[in-house]
Structure 1
Amino acid sequence: KDMINKKSGAIINISSMWGQCGASCETLYSMTKAGIIGLTKALAQEVAPSGITVNCVAPGIIDTRMNDMFSEDELKDEVPLGRLGTPNEVAKAVLFFAENPYVTGQILGVNGGIV
């Protein structure tokens, strides 16, 4: 409500590459992340007249504890750039959306080229 009253603001959601392409072994995770993408696109249209942007970052394989159970070499083999992403690279995508008041309703994959 505060953003609506100020007629400005940025909402940045975090989804996942699995929300865009699905993962056979992660059905519920993929479904909820896809829901975030749908929310982003619909909400962007709803609040645009109030000057609020709504975007989404969809990280790929990022070097975090979430992936500790997997071999780093195995994970790197899945990424065209041949390495895992970093939390800092995801943060830079969030900052991009925060600093661009004309970008809204977009999904930015930070995924090393996984399509």
Structure 2
Amino acid sequence: MTGASYEVAYSAAKGGLNSFVKGLAKEVAPSGIQVNAIAPGAIETRMMHDYSQEDRQLIEDDIPAGTLGTPQDIANAVLFLVGPDSHYLNGQIIEVNGAWH
């Protein structure tokens, strides 16, 4: 959701996707179409196995919730978005990140 030093191209791409979601939601909402996105924080996946234990600990220490998220945390957000309780949610970027960043 915010830019990061040494990750400028990555940050620009993410910012573009966020604007795409918000703009497309406005464009297609009159047709009853919802457009939302999920912005995961650090999630316990195979990608995290590439980090050293020390680097992983630094990331976890930086997350206010004190732990990495799980794939199930992301799946729960997806289930909410595709369910009937999200009928009025549109053009939103849902951060599932343990209050990180």
Q: Is the shorter-chain TM-score for this pair beyond 0.5, marking a shared fold?
A: yes
Q: How does 1:47-62 map to 2 (within 5 A)?
A: 47-62=28-43
Structure 1 segments of 4+ aligned residues over 4 angstroms from their partners: none
Distance 1:76 1:26 in 2: 20
* Larger fraction in strand: 1
Counterpart position of 1:40: 21
Q: Is 2:58 aligned against 1:84?
A: no
Q: 21, 33, 40: which one pairs with 2:2?
A: 21
* Cα deviation, residue 55, structure 1: 0.5
* Cα deviation, residue 23, structure 1: 1.8
The alignment's C-alpha RMSD in Å is: 1.2
Q: List gaps (5 residues or longer) in structure 1.
A: 1-19
* TM-score normalised by length of structure 2: 0.87
* Larger fraction in helix: 2
AA aligned opposite 1:37: N
* TM-score normalised by length of structure 1: 0.77
Q: Could you list the per-position Cα deviations for residues 19-54 of structure 1 after superposition, in whole angstroms to 9, with x for gaps in the alignment?
A: x11221222211111111000000000000110000
Distance 2:47 2:12 in 1: 18
Q: Which has the higher contact order (CA 8 A, sep 6+)?
A: 2
Q: List gaps (5 residues or longer) in structure 2.
A: none
Distance 2:95 2:3 in 1: 14
Give me the identity figure in percent: 48
Count of residue correspondences: 96
